[in-house]
Amino acid sequence: MDCPRCTNRIELTELVKHGVTLDLCPSCGGLWLDKGELSKILGQMKQAESELDREFAAVQPQTHHPHGHKYKRPKTTMEKLFDIFD
């Protein structure tokens, strides 16, 4: 398949990662996904986040502020990932 962005008909390169097929343009660096591929990526991210949260919950002690207030809830892995956009 040719890159939809490039005007000089550059052939996309397919790359399969974790069961998701990515179409990459070697010229413009564009990344293209087929229908349903983004849902697969988001589902895998959500599953990984849940697994990490369960692991961290087992090791993190429940701490309280000396005045009876709870500390702010730690950010989830997904929240930390999206901090790069702030």
What is the structure's pLDDT at 72? 67
**Residues whose CB is less than 8 angstroms from the CB of residue 21 and which lie 6 or more positions away in sequence, other chains included:** 14, 15, 33, 34, 37
Could you tell me how many residues make up the chain? 86
- Residue ranges per domain, the chain? 1-58
* pLDDT by residue, tens only, the chain of 86 residues: 889 998 888 999 999 988 889 999 999 999 999 999 999 988 888 888 888 888 877 776 655 556 665 666 677 777 777 676 55
Architecture of domain 1-58: Roll (3.10)
Q: What's the rounded Cα separation, in Å, for the pair 3 and 31? A: 9
What is the structure's pLDDT at 54? 84
The SS3 of residue 57 is: helix
Q: What's the rounded Cα separation, in Å, for the pair 28 and 34? A: 18
